[in-house]
Structure 1
Amino acid sequence: MNSQNAWIITGPTSGIGRRAALELAAHGTVVLVGRDPARLAVVEHQIEAKGGRAVPIVADFSDVGSVRRAAGEIVALGLPIAGVLNNAGIFPLERRTTPQGWDLTYATNHLGPFAFTEALVPYLPDGANVVFVCSGVEDPERRPAVVAGFRGARFISVEASARGEWKPGGSARPGLDAYATSKQGNLATVLAFAREMPRLRFNAVEPGFSPGSALARDAGPVLVFVSKYVLSPLAPMIKYWSTPKRAARMITEVLTADSDASGVYYDERGEPMRGSAQVRDPEFSARVVSETRTLLATSVNE
């Protein structure tokens, strides 16, 4: 692996993202993209204290204008970018909105990463690998997700999703529908981009349920404590579960692999898996991409 390579990671300040950033530091310069300058500085210091190099870039992924500006800052660095890890994501249990009025989860998890990736694509060298962290909860047939209260992605249209409107019959908690639909958007993006842009590689990972991650930080202090100190030690022994450390190592292996694989969805063990029947339909994933582009083209967040 070329130590001069640069690797972009979003959401690198906690959980799986922080551990992935530390793993990537062994493979070259790490571009840390997140919304909190102080927390970015902490990870930057951790990497540089071990002899690595990190560059912090501030961006709020709920704000399309912010991520486009961040992409421009990264391009201006002139680094030899080998890969991009779209890891940033949130999972509030209730509905929240951006100042623009978009659903906060859908904007942060799908619209922002989509705009960020499209802004970088013209500057990525042939063979660069773009990986999206996805989730099996988008699949209504995935039993563990159903047991947890998910009812799969509830997609009507990208415009409806941005408004926080979901197909009827979903979860009792609107945050679950928003999260599942946003992660389906990530997977649809990977599958469609892999077909559209064969000079690059686009892949997806399902990191497994990691109770020790920071994704469920909005679930309340008691549940967060139980997840971190009671459930997390059990994760390696349970199917579909993982830990931030194991997930980060697997994701890093997928991102840095010397492979031509594109359009592959990897499970928590790094093995190929299948998404929902809906997202596997090429017409559906192409529709998600087309509608996302249309929405972003009319966004006021320039």
Structure 2
Amino acid sequence: MSKASVSAADRKAYIVTGPTSGIGRLAAIELAKHGMVILVGRNLRKLDEVASVIQQKKQLAISIACDLSDVQSVRRAAAEIIALNLPIAGLLNNAGIMQMRSTTNALGWDTTFATNHLGPFALTEALLPHLPDSARVIFVASGVEDPKRTPAKAAGFRGGRFISVIASTRGEWQPGGSSNPGFDAYATSKQCILAATMALARENPRLRINAIEPGFTPNTGLGRDANAAFRLVANYILPLLAPFIRYWSTPKRASRLEAKVLTNQSGQTGIYYDERGESMLGSTLVQDRGFQDRVVAETRALLSSV
């Protein structure tokens, strides 16, 4: 769909990051029932494929290329979205990665931390002044940030290992973490974005800013760089068990939850929803307002230097 024709639309618009696979793809298709969907992701060809699926149903979608690990790319994407001049009803920060081995972006920052925390934060901050009152923002968090959460410990996580935002960009974490490469980066990035959710909700009472723990959903693109054996089990065996195990979910269930919370008219804000759509608490550290404010302040300071 051309941007010229989009600008004339008077329907609600929903922004979805990471919409080309897994939960994000299903959520985008579900949200298209409620209004136009702005698809934000790295691969324009894949974005257009999802847009085509939506458009075949006589619904509206537009693609905007953006690499969330690259702050400048995020800023360009935000400028494109703002230029569309659409009534944005919701922003779903769904995109995320969990690398088995650490990599860095063009700035030398840890890619997991940049993609899961810095990118969504930067995109949201850029769009906040342009969101109408009562617009909804969702960040996808994860219970693995909590070192006391039983299923996370069983999977080998040891919670967020936050030292500082700068240290996180360097791939430096508190000692005593996971023996699995990449787990500390993932848990810390999710801890930071969850803390930021709570701080942003307090700072912006005119908006509805919440977080979701989608549940353990093994057959998503999250662990796409895992070995073939793990992907085989994750894609074809574990999903059969998900409906019967607490804390587990499926992409279909998780996507419906994301769409439900993003279109919820209740006015709730500062809520952390579990995989069943019920309120839950993050780690003790995340509940600390001082920590929430520190994460936001350090993140803003870092991003302003780029």
Secondary structure of the residue aligned to 2:292 is helix
Partner of 1:105: 112
- Percent identical residues: 61
Match of 1:236 among 237, 240, 243: 243
Structure 2 distance, partners of 1:91, 1:192, is 24
Structure 1 distance, partners of 2:156, 2:296, is 27
Partner of 2:158: 151
How far is 1:267 from its partner?
0.2
Deviations 1:64-98 (A, max 9, x none): 00001100000000111000000111111111111
RMSD of equivalent CA atoms: 0.8
Unaligned runs of 5+ in 2: 1-9
Unaligned runs of 5+ in 1: none
How far is 1:221 from its partner?
1.4
TM-score scaled by structure 1? 0.97
Mapping 1:12-23, distance limit 5 Å: 12-23=19-30
Counterpart of 2:91 in structure 1: which amino acid? V
Report how many residues are paired: 297
Partner of 1:183: 190
Match of 1:96 among 90, 97, 103: 103
Structure 1 distance, partners of 2:187, 2:203, is 24
Structure 1 distance, partners of 2:218, 2:65, is 27
Mapping 1:240-255, distance limit 5 Å: 240-255=247-262
Structure 1 distance, partners of 2:196, 2:82, is 22
Secondary structure of the residue aligned to 2:195 is helix
Match of 1:25 among 18, 26, 32: 32
Match of 2:60 among 48, 53, 74: 53
Partner of 2:217: 210
How far is 1:23 from its partner?
0.5
Match of 1:282 among 281, 285, 289: 289
Partner of 1:35: 42
Structure 2 distance, partners of 1:291, 1:201, is 23
Counterpart of 1:235 in structure 2: which amino acid? A
Structure 2 distance, partners of 1:142, 1:176, is 14
Secondary structure of the residue aligned to 1:217 is coil
Deviation >6 Å, runs of 4+: none
Secondary structure of the residue aligned to 1:278 is helix
TM-score scaled by structure 2? 0.96
Partner of 1:161: 168
